Structure 1
Amino acid sequence: MKREPLRFLRLLFVIASFSPLVIIWGVRGVPLLSEVSVWISVAVLVIVPNGVVWLRWYIVKQQKLTAQAEVQQATDHREHLVVYLLAVLLAMYGASVGSIRELIAVILAFVLVVMLFWFSNLHYLNVFFAILGYRTFTVVRRVSDGSGRKSSTIVLLTKRDCIEAGDLVICYRLSHDVFIDAED
């Protein structure tokens, strides 16, 4: 089996997608930890992964690392953000951390959800892209790279209202299968 390039970047995408939850936890506080420890943890869990994602975006734009996506089929996944908000933010928001056992349980639950997002390929759910007006589409694109495959599936972040079969989209590759529209 071929190993996925940019694996570490995909993990940072997943962690970055939990930034709103981490910020909420920071605001709520953790009675077992000092305020300084909590805010250092929040800063690391929010700034580092998002900074790497934004740095990757900056680098591919500067180096003009574009790809063409000849769309065969596109599906809007705006509802995934709602599922994310309901399943993750609301469910984990109420987690209590009044004891060491509860803190360990919350950390384990967080790791479990990160793993689920990783293995379910939901690493593209980043609220900051949504705030900037990007929509999420799953795109089946035609492949003509000599690999023998006729199509591949990617996630495309774009400000377009719709993507239709036959569209040719020029995009930047942020991770193995997450691309962002270069025309935005």
Structure 2
Amino acid sequence: MDETYFTLACLVLFLAPTLALWAFWSRSVAKNTVRTLRVVKAEDPKDHILTYLFAMLIPLFQSNVDDKRQLSVAIVAFIMVMFLFWHMRLHYMNFVFALFGYSIFTVKADAGADTLGPKPTDTWVIISRRSAISDGEMLTGYRLGGLVLADKAK
């Protein structure tokens, strides 16, 4: 396989999630799709970082993609990592956003009287520049899709 294609594929796989997250965020800001939650319990899921690092290190293993068998192994490893990210809801983790000071929090939200809102058992993911989120705090953010919010607080 030509190294140019490999480099291009790596670049696309690195940039595509960042551009997608930025596009979801921009669309949510433009449409002012906000959601306010009362935080029941907030956690800083540092244990997810280990999984994230594991997934980031997998591409560094020695693999000869010119051989069909080795290419198959690399594709299976990639699919396993993607499944792991999706199953553990780590699709919101992003290296570029981390460089700009954003952190990830998981938050159990109170449904209150809002029957269309989150259930008490729902866990929301908050992308924020805060260093911590307090239990009982009201939090407003842009809804990026699913149960992911980008904190409006500066």
Instruction: Give the direction of change, closer, same or farther, for the CA distance of 1:58–1:178 in structure 2 (3 Å limit).
Output: same
Tell me the distance in 1 between the aligned counterparts of 2:83 and 2:100.
Answer: 26
Q: Match for 2:82 among 114, 122, 126?
A: 114
Range 45-54 or range 59-68, more displaced:
45-54
Q: Match for 2:131 among 158, 161, 174?
A: 161
Where in structure 2 are there 5+ consecutive unaligned residues?
A: none
Partner of 1:28: none
Partner of 1:105: 73
Partner of 1:50: 18
- What is the TM-score when the length of structure 1 is the normalising length? 0.73
Q: Does 1:66 align with 2:66?
A: no
SS at match of 2:145: coil
Question: In the alignment, is the contact (CA less than 8 A) between 1:95 and 1:106 conserved in 2?
Answer: no
Q: How many residues align?
A: 151
- What is the TM-score when the length of structure 2 is the normalising length? 0.86
Question: In the alignment, is the contact (CA less than 8 A) between 2:39 and 2:135 conserved in 1?
Answer: yes
Deviations, residues 57-82 of structure 1 (Å, cap 9, x unaligned) = 11111221110011010011134224
Tell me the distance in 1 between the aligned counterparts of 2:98 and 2:127.
Answer: 9
More helix by share: 1
Kindly, what percent of the aligned residue pairs are identical? 30
Tell me the distance in 1 between the aligned counterparts of 2:33 and 2:16.
Answer: 23
SS at match of 2:122: strand
Deviations, residues 113-160 of structure 1 (Å, cap 9, x unaligned) = 101221222222211221111111110111242149445210111111
Instruction: Give the direction of change, closer, same or farther, for the CA distance of 1:42–1:90 in structure 2 (3 Å limit).
Output: closer
Partner of 2:5: 37
| Correspondences of 1:1-40 after superposition (within 5 Å) | 33-40=1-8
CA shift, 1:100, in A, is: 2.5
Question: In the alignment, is the contact (CA less than 8 A) between 2:108 and 2:120 conserved in 1?
Answer: no
Tell me the distance in 1 between the aligned counterparts of 2:73 and 2:51.
Answer: 23
| Correspondences of 1:141-156 after superposition (within 5 Å) | 141-143=109-111, 144-147=113-116, 149-156=119-126
Question: In the alignment, is the contact (CA less than 8 A) between 1:72 and 1:140 conserved in 2?
Answer: yes
Where in structure 1 are there 5+ consecutive unaligned residues?
A: 1-32
Instruction: Give the direction of change, closer, same or farther, for the CA distance of 1:150–1:115 in structure 2 (3 Å limit).
Output: closer
